Chain A
């Protein structure tokens, strides 16, 4: 049962990272234009170098 001492905090930490990533995405308006983003990935315009 000693393993619990490590495994529970680790699982919570990993889940917490996921939650933090969700917060980051919400704050940075990643859900503003879902349809546009799914189309933009098909555009070859900035394939060679990132948009300046």
Chain B
């Protein structure tokens, strides 16, 4: 009967798949529409109990919001709301009570997976900590002189606790040792795993023979301390990753799609070549496109480094990432997503990365010397004792195991993670995010610093330079014209003139000609403020706007980029520290040399294409320099990837931030110089930690090789060295 039913069903399905699929799709669409909104907002200003209560109460009052929960550690709030609730409404509500909030793209944040790994290590630490404490207490009885049957009893109980613990908690080490052995390398985890396994098995054997020494406590203690090192390591990376993800999630790229005359907001990822999109002044272009309608100027400083706005009109081809300045534009998309010019830069980055040879960290170099030495020492003491005792294998294996346990890099496993955790926490509070584990070490070795100009040393905000040279009456006209526009140069001019106390002249019939400038009438004459070719002036080397009054010769008002706060301090600090500083930019030589002179930068390179920037980094590296590249633009990505270590500000394009090792979270550039100092200190601490653990080994190893090591000595040496190393790391300033 059941078989018949099945046949009938299959027949029905094959007869008309669409009949069944269509209602299914309908209900799917309906359920998708009904799905609750889960929103994630970033709250950079939240810091106390009052903030939590305020934000949660205010959001709960919003109609349709079911629950809101603030996570203060991550400075985020997650909101469960009825369908149709959108982030801007909630952001406005929070802004009204004085909290800054930004929408985060929940798809980019993959916190759950990382969470599970962290909890997994924590659980292993918990188990091994519990086992260590119990075995240690049982061992105290043995050390204080328990004899015969009592000692055996304690050993058996210890074994019952230690063996399952080692099997469960030691898995990360066994897995990584197995992986490195298969790859034919001898990593740090091989001696660790060997010591844990040997210590456990020799102890079981000794216990069966009613022997005096068992190393159960040592095996579990090793796992415990090394797991702490692993957790610190993981934690640093997880914090950096989640902060980097948050930066990416802050940009929710959207596009205004024009279809049948109606405008809809769609995610930028869904654009296809041939789509018509509208770009308002101030908007960033979400895809490559050709202008169909409208004239304007675009700012492409993030792409090429040039600070001069570029004219755009019907037929102009614009690239992803350019910012529209004056008039609304309608564009036909020519390439979107992975095919856009933004992504084509990825090839250049990949090439630069492969050219950069793999960096071997201090820990790698240490373990390369250490692992073979440990194995040789243990094996040598086994052979020597075999000869001395005349073939007593049990004694020789016992001593070899003691050597392995004592040399086991408990303190070495903590030496690097403890310092890196402490240093990156320190730098994070100063506004620097370390994305890569070895970036700190590489930063300590830097002797040459390369700065990009636009967007890195400067803010990309113009400032008029020669207002004092202009007659007051002209300035009044310029102000009146500039007030009619939201072009960045006009805004800067308005601001500066008003600060100087200029009152606008009575200019009538003001109108903005998108892509060219502003036009009006003043005392019967036509007045214009705008591009050089529009008013009949020569185009100069510097960013400028031009003022024309009637038939008089046009006057240029020149602009320079405003310096990023802390730029002067950072450059001065690097120069004072004796590092070579270079300025490299895609901008004109006039603008670049002016900035170099202002900041006293000795070497500058203008008009550099992206490939030339990367080539400059490569040639400096070939000459033996360790280059730190600081840049933000798309044109810097290849140089960022090719440099020994690289920093990019949070305002940079996503591609640049991805290529950089360190991200500067604030607007201030001064922490960059500070970061190098902290990195140098951190490297010194790491070396000290290595020295401390080697010193303990130098004392303990001869004791072990001479056969005097007891489980008590091993436990003492291990815990003392681990604690000293951890304390030393905390001294980092």
Interface residues of A (CB under 8 A from B): 1, 4, 8, 11-12, 15-16, 18-19, 22-23, 26, 31-36, 39-43, 45
Assess whether B52 is in contact with A43, with CB atoms less than 8 Å apart: yes
Residues 537-570 (chain B) with a chain A CB within 8 angstroms? none
**Given A11-B134, A33-B72, also A26-B119 (CB < 8 A):** yes
- Chain A residues within 8 Å of B49, by CB: 39-43
Please give, as numbers and ranges, the residues of chain B lying within 8 Å of A11 by CB-CB distance.
134, 137
Across the interface, which residues of A come within 8 angstroms of B71, CB to CB?
Answer: 32-33, 36
Q: Which of B53, B73, B122, B123 contacts A35 (CB 8 A)?
A: B73
Are A40 and B126 in contact, with the CB atoms below 8 A? Answer: no
Query: Does B680 touch A at the CB level, under 8 Å?
Result: no
Question: Residue of A at shortest CB range from B120?
Answer: A26
Are B52 and A36 closer than 8 Å at their CB atoms?
yes
Query: Using Cβ atoms and an 8 Å threshold, which residues of chain B touch A31?
Result: 119, 122
Q: Are B134 and A15 in contact (CB under 8 A)?
A: yes
- Please give the residue numbers on chain B whose beta carbons come within 8 Å of chain A beta carbons, in ascending order: 48-50, 52-53, 70-74, 115, 119, 122-123, 126-127, 130, 133-134, 137, 150, 153, 157, 161
CA distance A11 to B123 in the complex (A): 21
User: Which chain A positions have C-beta within 8 A of B52?
Assistant: 36, 39-40, 43
Judged by DSSP, the binding face of B is helix
User: Are the C-beta atoms of A35 and B130 separated by less than 8 Å?
Assistant: no
B53: chain A residues at CB < 8 Å are 43, 45
Instruction: Name the distance in Å between B417's Cβ and chain A's nearest Cβ.
Output: 19
Is there contact, CB below 8 Å, between B72 and A19? no
Which of B48, B119, B126, B137 is in CB contact (< 8 Å) with A19?
B126
- Using known A-B contacts A36-B73, A40-B49, A43-B53, determine if residue A26 contacts B130 with beta carbons closer than 8 Å: no
The 11 sampled A-B contact pairs (Cβ below 8 Å) are: A11-B137, A15-B130, A15-B133, A15-B134, A22-B130, A26-B119, A26-B123, A36-B73, A39-B49, A41-B49, A43-B50
Q: Is the CB of B72 within 8 A of A22?
A: no
Contact of B48 among A22, A26, A33, A39 (CB under 8 A): A39
User: Within the complex, which residue of A8, A12, A15, A39 is in contact with B72, where a contact is CB–CB below 8 Å?
Assistant: A39
The complex places the Cα of A32 from the Cα of B268 at a distance, in Å, of 33
In the complex, what's the smallest C-beta–C-beta distance from A40 to chain B, in angstroms? Answer: 6
Q: How far is the CA of A35 from the CA of B130 in the complex (A)?
A: 26
Measured CB to CB, the nearest residue on chain B to A9 is B157
CB atoms of B126 and A12 under 8 A apart: no
Cβ contacts under 8 Å, A39 to chain B: 48-49, 52, 72
- Contacts A11-B134, A33-B73, A36-B70 known; 20 new A-B pairs at CB < 8 A: A1-B150, A4-B153, A12-B161, A15-B130, A15-B134, A18-B130, A19-B126, A19-B130, A22-B126, A26-B119, A26-B126, A32-B71, A32-B73, A32-B115, A33-B72, A33-B74, A36-B72, A39-B72, A43-B49, A43-B50
Q: Give the most central of A32, A36, A40, A42: most B CB within 10 Å.
A: A36
Residues of A within 8 A of B130 (CB): 15-16, 18-19, 22
Shortest Cβ gap from A13 to chain B (Å): 11
A26 to B117, CA, bound (A): 12
**B680, chain A: closest CB distance, angstroms:** 30
Distance (whole angstroms) from the CB of A5 to the closest CB of chain B: 10
Within the assembled complex, what's the spacing in Å between the Cα atoms of A31 and B52? Answer: 17
Q: Nearest CB to that of B127 among chain A residues? A: A19
Q: Which residues of A contact B122 (CB under 8 A)?
A: 26, 31
List A contacts of B74 (CB < 8 A).
33
A35 and B51 CA atoms in complex are apart in Å by 13
Alpha-carbon gap, A12 to B127, bound state (A):
13
Q: Which residues of B contact A35 (CB under 8 A)?
A: 72-73
- Point out the residues of chain B lying under 8 angstroms from A22, CB to CB: 126, 130
B73:A8 contact, CB within 8 angstroms: no
Smallest Cβ-Cβ distance to A21: which chain B residue? B126
